[in-house]
Structure 1
Amino acid sequence: MRGTRWMLAGAMLLAAGGSALAQQQAPVAAPTPPAPAASTGSMLPATQALFDGYVAQKRVPGIVGAFGVGDWPTAFVASGRIAYDASAPAAGPDSLWRVYSMTKPVTAMAAMILIEEGKIGLDDPLSKYFPAFAHMRVLTSPDTSLDSRPATKPITIRELLTHTAGLGYNINAKGPLLKEYERLGILPAQLNAPTEAQARAVRPTTLAEFANRVATVPLIAEPGTTWHYSIGLDVMGAVIEKASGMPFDRFVQTRLFDPLKMTSTFWQVPAAETARFATNYAVVNGQSLPIDPAATSPYLQKPSFPYGGAGLVSSARDYDRFLHMVQDGGILDGVRVLKPETIALATSNLLPAGVTFTGVTPGANTNAGYGAGGYVILADKPGVMAGTWGWDGAANTVAWANPTRRMRGVVMVNIFPPGSLPLRAELPRALMTDAMRMNGAAGALK
C-alpha cells in the first residue's frame, strides 16, 4: 500500500513557475563544497542520490526536499550544508530558505480565507478596495513607450490572483515602464544588502501606498485578456489588509501560520535564527558568488512592507505543513483553516474566459491552467497528474500539492538563476524510481 502511494507521488509534475533573476553580478569561482550531510532520505535513495550529486558537482552547497502522500509521515531528503563555508550547518528540514515567489501561493490562500468569509468577492473590482484603480489606462507600446489609452474593463480580484490584471513586474518590464517602476519604488522584493539600500530610498513604506502607486502606472494589457507574470499578489496583500482590517502580515500569521504551526516562516528572520538561515548564491558559467550572505541579508531587517509576492523565508518542514493543509482540503492536525470547497476553487482553473496560461517562458505549459497563486494541471499525461497545483521560487525552490490524489512535495535550495537546476526533469524520475523500488518491495512482502 505504501509503495503504491509513492508510485503516485513519483508521477507528479514539476511545472513552470517562479520568477526571473532580476540582475546578475560578476561571478567568482565556486569553493569546494563540504561533504554532504548524513542522509535523511534512506527511504528515497534515488532522490537522495540526485541531491547528493548536485552537492558533489558543486551545483549547490545544500538542498532539502519534503514529500508526502496521504497521512503517511513526511519523507525528508537532505544533502550538503546551508552555505559553502566549511563550518556551515548541515541542510535539514528546519533550515531557512528564501522562497521568493513561493510566497504567492501563501498570499493567495490568505485571500481565499476572506473570499470564503464573504469579505472579498472573487470577481469584485479592485477599485472597491482601492478607488485609485477605477480609471486605469493601458500602454499602447509597453516595451518602448508610456503612451496609453483608457482601459475598457476593470481589474478584478480574480485577475490579481491569476496574473491577468494587466499589471507588470520590475523583473520583466522593459524600457520606460521599468524606469517608471524604479522611479516609484514598485520593487516588492529583496535581493541583497546593496540593492536593498537603493530600493528602500524610493520604495513606499506601506502596502496601501504601494497599491496606490501601482494604480498610477498604465497596464501592459487590458485586464482579463492576457496571462502576464506580475505584482498582482503584492497588490493582493494590500487588498487583504484593507478587507480584513488587519495588517497583512498579522493576518497571514494569525489565520495561516499560527493554526498550521508554521513556526519557521518569516518576513523578517529573527536574529536568534540566523544560524540556520542559508546563504543565497548566483551561479554563472559554473562559477558561484555568495550574492546574499545570511549574516548580512536584508531578510534580517523588517521589510519596507510585507511583500505578498516574494517576501517569505521558510523551512521545508513549514512549507510542507502549508502544502499538507492544501492537500487535505483545508485542514491539518484537526485544525481547519479553509473549507474543502474553497480549496477546490483555489486549485481549479480560475483564468478569465479565453485566457491561456503561458508560463514565465511563453508556450511552456500548454497542459496547465492557473488557480489562486499557482498553475493547475488540467489533464493527465505521462509524468503529469491532473489537479496538481503549485509554484516555484526564483532561487530554484519548487512546491506542489494535489488535493485529488492527496500528495505534495517541496524542494528548498537557494541558488540563482532560476531554472539552473534541472529539478523539473530530474526529480520526477528520481521519485518514480524510488516509488517503483518501494512498490517492488511491497509486492515481495505479500
Structure 2
Amino acid sequence: MIESRAALERVLDRRMLLRLGAFAGVSAALMPRLAFAAAEPELLPHVRTLVDKWVGPGKFPGMVASLGLPGKEPEYVAKGTEGFLNLDPMSDGSLFRIYSMTKPVTGMAAMQLIAQGKMALDQPLYDILPRYRHMQVQNTYDGSITDLHPARSPITIRHLLTHTAGLGYAIIQKGPIRDLLNKKGLTGGQVSRMPLPDIYSGPQAPSLEAFADRLAEVPLVYDPGTKWSYSLGLDLMGRVIEVVSGKPFDAYLKETIFEPCGMTRTFFQVPAADAGDLTTNYGVMGGVFIPIDKGENSVFLDPPPFPMGGSGLVSSPRDYDRFLRMLAQYGTIGGTRVLDEAAVRQGTSNLLPPGVAGPAMDAAPADFGAGGRVGIGPEAGIYGWAGAAGTIGMVDMAHALRSQLFVQFMPPQSLDLLPEFQTALKADVLSLLQVKPA
C-alpha cells in the first residue's frame, strides 16, 4: 500500500514538476515543418523503444502512449496487458484513472459558460455561492485555524480556475487545516477501497452541494488572487457549474463535452459492463509493484460521493485524445462544434491574476489557464496537465499537436518513466522535424 501521507504528497509534487510541454526545447520557428511529417509511417520510434523497455516482468504490465498530428487520428503505442493478473491486452480503449487530468475538462466546461455570458471570469464567487461572501484567511500558512483575518478581496471564478483562490488541499496542507479538511470530508479524491488513514480520513461529503457548503467554513491558506497554490478550486467549480447551468455537474459534462466529442468511455463511475477494461493501479515501493486498486473490484466501480471535478474521471486514451483534438481545433471535432472558439482560446491562455506567477518549482516556469498549465518561452502554446497515477495529456495549441501517456502507478516519481518519456517524445518530434537534439 502507499506509504501514508508523505507518499501522496510526493505524487502531487511530481504532478506539479512535470514539464507538460513535452516538446520543450523545440522552437516555434521549427514546428511548422511538421506538415511534412504527415506521411511518416512511424511517428514514435523512441517512445516505442521506451515502452518496450518499461513493459514486462518486474516492470509495468502495460501502457499506452500517443502522438496526434493536426487533423489526424493519433498513432498509438500500446503494449502489455491491463494488469499483471488481467491479461486483456492494453489498447486505446483501456480505462485509466486520470485523476487531475479531470481539471482541464472541468475548466473548459466553465469556460463555455463564460463564453455564453452565463458567468464572468472576474465575477465574485459569492454571486453564485453566497456562503463564500465573508471568507477568513490564515495569518500563518498551515498554522492556526483560529488566528485569522478577513479575506482582503473576494474569490472570483478566475481564482477557482487557476488555483489562486487560496483554498486548501488535504494532500498539500499540513497541521490543523489538513485535519479540518479531512474531518469535513473535503478530500476531493479516491484511491482505493483499502483504508488510507494518513491520507484520507473520515467519510467524504455526500454531495457537491454539501462539499461546497462545508468548504466555505474552512479558512483560506492565502488571500485570494495573491499566490498559485494547488487546491480544491476545480472541485468547487463543479458546484458552480451545476448552479449556473441548472444541471447536475456530471450531466452537464456529458451533454456539453463528452457526447458531442464522441467520448463514450469517460466516467465518474465505471459501468459494470466496462469493468473488464479498467486497468489496475499499483503502488510502487522499492521497485516492487503492489496492486492498490484492481480493475475488477475498483473503488471507481461504485457511485462516487459526488462527481469530483478535480480528480474524479476515468477515461481511455482514445477518449482523452478526442478532448485534446477538439481543443487543438478550437472547439470542433468531426464537423461538430463542441465549445465556442472563444472558450477554447481563452481557456488555453494565461488566466492568472496580474502579478501572480504560475507553477514552477523544478520545472520550467509556466502560466496557468483553465485547469491546466500554459507553457511560456520555448513551450509557448502548450496546454495540459497530468494525473496522480502517471497519466499525461497535452495539446500544442499553436500547431494542433497532442500527446499522451497512460499508465497506472503511484507515486509517479518513484520510477524514472515520466522524465524518460518526455525525453523520448522530444526526440521523436525533433526527428519528424529532421533536427538533431541539442
TM-score normalised by structure 2 residue count: 0.86
Report if aligned partners of 1:190, 1:196 keep a CA contact under 8 Å in 2: no
**Alignment-derived partner of residue 81 in structure 1:** 81
Task: Give the Å deviation of 1:429.
Answer: 3.0
Task: Give the Å deviation of 1:419.
Answer: 2.8
Aligned partner of residue 65 in structure 1, secondary structure: strand
Task: Give the Å deviation of 1:66.
Answer: 2.0
**Structure 1 range deviating more: 138-147 or 284-293:** 138-147
Structure 1 CA distance, aligned partners of 2:134 and 2:275? Answer: 45
Q: Which of 342, 354, 377 is residue 375 of structure 2 equivalent to?
A: 377
- Compared CA separation, residues 333 and 200, structure 1 to 2 (3 A): farther
Matches within 5 A, 1:92-171: 92-146=91-145, 147-171=147-171
Report if aligned partners of 2:269, 2:301 keep a CA contact under 8 Å in 1: yes
Matches within 5 A, 1:402-413: 402-413=396-407
- Compared CA separation, residues 379 and 435, structure 1 to 2 (3 A): closer
**Alignment-derived partner of residue 90 in structure 2:** 91
**Alignment-derived partner of residue 12 in structure 1:** 23
Matches within 5 A, 1:276-315: 276-315=277-316
Count of residue pairs the alignment pairs up:
399
Task: Give the Å deviation of 1:432.
Answer: 3.9
- Compared CA separation, residues 187 and 209, structure 1 to 2 (3 A): same
Task: Give the Å deviation of 1:413.
Answer: 0.7
Matches within 5 A, 1:267-416: 267-359=268-360, 363-380=361-378, 385-416=379-410
- Compared CA separation, residues 438 and 229, structure 1 to 2 (3 A): closer
* 1:307-350 Cα distance to aligned partner (Å, 9 max, x none): 00000000000000000011111111111122223211111111
- Compared CA separation, residues 423 and 130, structure 1 to 2 (3 A): same
Letter in 2 for 1:259: P
- Compared CA separation, residues 11 and 305, structure 1 to 2 (3 A): closer
Report if aligned partners of 1:281, 1:292 keep a CA contact under 8 Å in 2: yes
- Compared CA separation, residues 439 and 214, structure 1 to 2 (3 A): closer
Task: Give the Å deviation of 1:109.
Answer: 0.6
- Compared CA separation, residues 345 and 130, structure 1 to 2 (3 A): same
Structure 2 CA distance, aligned partners of 1:292 and 1:346? Answer: 33
Report if aligned partners of 1:393, 1:418 keep a CA contact under 8 Å in 2: no
Letter in 2 for 1:367: P
Report if aligned partners of 2:58, 2:288 keep a CA contact under 8 Å in 1: no
Task: Give the Å deviation of 1:293.
Answer: 1.1
Report if aligned partners of 2:389, 2:410 keep a CA contact under 8 Å in 1: yes
Letter in 2 for 1:204: A
TM-score normalised by structure 1 residue count: 0.85
Structure 2 CA distance, aligned partners of 1:115 and 1:162? Answer: 15
Structure 1 CA distance, aligned partners of 2:216 and 2:63? Answer: 39
Report if aligned partners of 1:369, 1:375 keep a CA contact under 8 Å in 2: yes
Structure 2, unaligned stretches of length 5 or more? 1-19, 26-40
Structure 2 CA distance, aligned partners of 1:57 and 1:430? Answer: 22
Task: Give the Å deviation of 1:196.
Answer: 8.3
Structure 1, unaligned stretches of length 5 or more? 1-8, 15-40, 442-446
Letter in 2 for 1:210: F
* 1:241-284 Cα distance to aligned partner (Å, 9 max, x none): 00000000000000000000000000000011111100100001
* 1:284-313 Cα distance to aligned partner (Å, 9 max, x none): 111121011112211001111100000000
* 1:355-384 Cα distance to aligned partner (Å, 9 max, x none): 11134xxx234431001101101211xxxx
Structure 2 CA distance, aligned partners of 1:103 and 1:54? Answer: 26
- Compared CA separation, residues 243 and 219, structure 1 to 2 (3 A): same
- Compared CA separation, residues 57 and 420, structure 1 to 2 (3 A): farther
**Structure 1 range deviating more: 425-434 or 183-192:** 425-434
* 1:133-188 Cα distance to aligned partner (Å, 9 max, x none): 00000011232321211111100000000000000111011110011011111021
Structure 1 CA distance, aligned partners of 2:215 and 2:152? Answer: 18
Structure 2 CA distance, aligned partners of 1:253 and 1:11? Answer: 29
Structure 2 CA distance, aligned partners of 1:421 and 1:408? Answer: 24
Structure 1 CA distance, aligned partners of 2:369 and 2:21? Answer: 23
**Alignment-derived partner of residue 190 in structure 2:** 190
- Compared CA separation, residues 213 and 10, structure 1 to 2 (3 A): closer
- Compared CA separation, residues 439 and 145, structure 1 to 2 (3 A): closer
Structure 2 CA distance, aligned partners of 1:438 and 1:216? Answer: 53
The CA RMSD measured in Å over matched residues stands at: 2.3
**Alignment-derived partner of residue 233 in structure 1:** 234
Structure 2 CA distance, aligned partners of 1:421 and 1:199? Answer: 24
Report if aligned partners of 2:366, 2:376 keep a CA contact under 8 Å in 1: yes
Structure 2 CA distance, aligned partners of 1:10 and 1:139? Answer: 34
Task: Give the Å deviation of 1:90.
Answer: 1.3
Letter in 2 for 1:342: A
Report if aligned partners of 1:227, 1:357 keep a CA contact under 8 Å in 2: yes
Structure 1 CA distance, aligned partners of 2:320 and 2:285? Answer: 28
Report if aligned partners of 2:390, 2:418 keep a CA contact under 8 Å in 1: no
